[in-house]
A and B are shown apart, each in its own frame.
Chain A
Amino acid sequence: MPIVIQPYRPEHEPAVAEFNQRLRQAGQDENTVFYRSAEPRWLPRTSNSRIYNEFFVAIDNGLDGTKVRGGYALKTQDFLFPDGQVRSIAYYHHPLSEGIVNKAHAVVGTLLLRDAMQRAPLLYCLGMGGYDRPLPQMLIRLGWAHCLVPFFFRVLNPTRFLRQMQTLRESARRTIVMDLAAVTGLGWAGSKLFQTYRALTAPSATRAETDSVATFDENAQLLWDRARQACSFTAVRDREALQVLYPPSEAHLTRIEIKRGGSAIGWAVVGERRKDAKYGNLRVGSVVDCWALPGEFLPVVRAATETLKRHGFDLILTNQSHQDWGSAFKAAGYLSAPSNFLFAASKKLAELLAPFDETRVRMHLTRADGDGLPRNF
C-alpha cells in the first residue's frame, strides 16, 4: 500500500507515538518528535481564524499495520505583498521523516515537501539552522528563492557573558583569555566602551514613553495602517493578528507600546528565549517582534532593550530582515553576527516577491514569523 499524507486526526495519535518511539530508539534526541496531539496547542484552527496551524501525517498502510512515517505542520497567515495585496500564505515547519533513521523511508522527506507545496503553493520556510542542513538544501534544489535573516545580539552582562558562552569557549586558550577578561573587568570595560561609542554616534531621539500592555488595542491598528508601506513583505500585524499571536494568556511575553507626546509610535514583544546549552546559564532574552512608524525604529529598539535589561537578562538576541530595523538595532548598541536563520520562498511565492534581491531588504521578518511562538522563539 502506498504512503498517503493526511490531516493529522486523533485516531493517528497512537501511530504517531510509535513513530516518535522508533526515532528515539534509533538514537534521535528527545526533542526530535512529532506533535503528540492532533490538535495544535498553538494557533489551532477555528471557524473564523485567519492565523492557524494544521498538522499532516504520512500514513503507511503496510502489511504490518498502519504506521506513521513522518509529518509536517503548516501555519497559515495573511501577508502583505509588494503589490499592496494581502494574501493568505503558509509556513512549512517541523517536517520530520523516518528517513532520518531508516533509509527504507528516504522517500518520505520528498513526499512531505511536495504535499505541502500542493496544498499551499504560496509556501515559505524560516529558520532551519543554516544552509548546510538537509531542508534548505532540498529547497534550493527545488529552485526556491532564499536569503539569510540577519542576526543581532547585545550583551547586557559582559562578565557573565564571557564566563558562560559555550560556543566562544571551545579552545582552552580562549577560555583562559575570557576568564581573565571576566575577572579583571576588561570585558565589562570593553563592552561599556563599545556601547558608549554606539550611543554617541547614534541618532538622537526625543524622549519616548514605554507602557507595558496586556493586549494590543486600536493603537496597534493605527500603527499597522500608517507603517505598512515601509515594508515590501510582512505578516499582517494589525490589531486582530496581534491579539491572536500575543494574547494576554501568554504571560511569559511582555508587550510594550512606545509613545511620544501621548501618540503611539511603535510596539514590541519581548521575552525569554528557550534554554539552549550553548548559552550555558545565561538568561537570554529576545526581541521577538517589533513594529514602528517609519523613522521611529530606534526608540522602539531602545525601549525593548531597556525592558529586557530591567527583567535581568544577560544577553539579547534578535533576527531582523528589514534593513532599517537592522540599522536601528546597530545604532542601539547591538552587534551583528553570522546568521543561520534562513528565509526561503517557493517558486510561486517568489514570483510575487520579484525582484527578490530588491524586495528582501524591506521584508519585515522576525522570530515571530517562525515556528516557535510562544515557546521556541
Chain B
Amino acid sequence: MTSTFEQVQAIASDIFGVPAGKISADSSPETVENWDSMQHLNLVLAIEEKFGVQLAPEDIEQMKTIGAAATLVEKRLQSPAR
C-alpha cells in the first residue's frame, strides 16, 4: 500500500518536474528549483484534490517541506480543518 508520503512525493514530482527519487521529506522551496509561489499553490490544490481535504491558511503556511505536507495531510484526514 502506498504511504501518504509517497503519494505527496508523487504529486510534488509531477508539479515540480523532478524525479520522485530526488524528492525527500526535507525537500523545500530552497532545494527544489521549480518550487515558487505559483507551484506552491499548485501543490496545495493538487493535495486537496487528491486527498479530498480542505487546507486552512495555517496548514498552507506549515507546508514548507514535502515531509511537513505529508504529515499535515495525515492530520487533516483524521481531523478535517474547520
Contacts and interface: CB of A to CB of B under 8 A. Distances in A.
A115 B39 CA distance: 18
Interface of B: 28-30, 35-42, 44-45, 57-58, 60-64
Contact of B41 (A2, A109, A115): A109
Nearest to A2: B61
Nearest to B36: A106
Contacts of B57: 5, 111, 114-115, 118
Contacts of A100: 37
A141 B58 contact: no
B61 A137 contact: no
B41 A138 contact: yes
Nearest to A5: B57
Contacts of B62: 2
B41 A99 contact: no
A10 B15 CA distance: 39
Interface residues of A, number: 24
Contacts of B28: 104
B48 to A, nearest CB: 11
Q: Which of B44, B61, B63: most chain A CB closer than 10 A?
A: B61
Nearest to A58: B61
A219 B62 CA distance: 54
A108 interface: yes
Contact of A106 (B40, B45, B58): B40
Contacts of B36: 99, 103, 106
B61 A107 contact: yes
B41 A142 contact: yes
A323 interface: no
A106 B61 contact: no
Contacts of B39: 106
Given A111-B60, A118-B57, A106 B44 contact: no
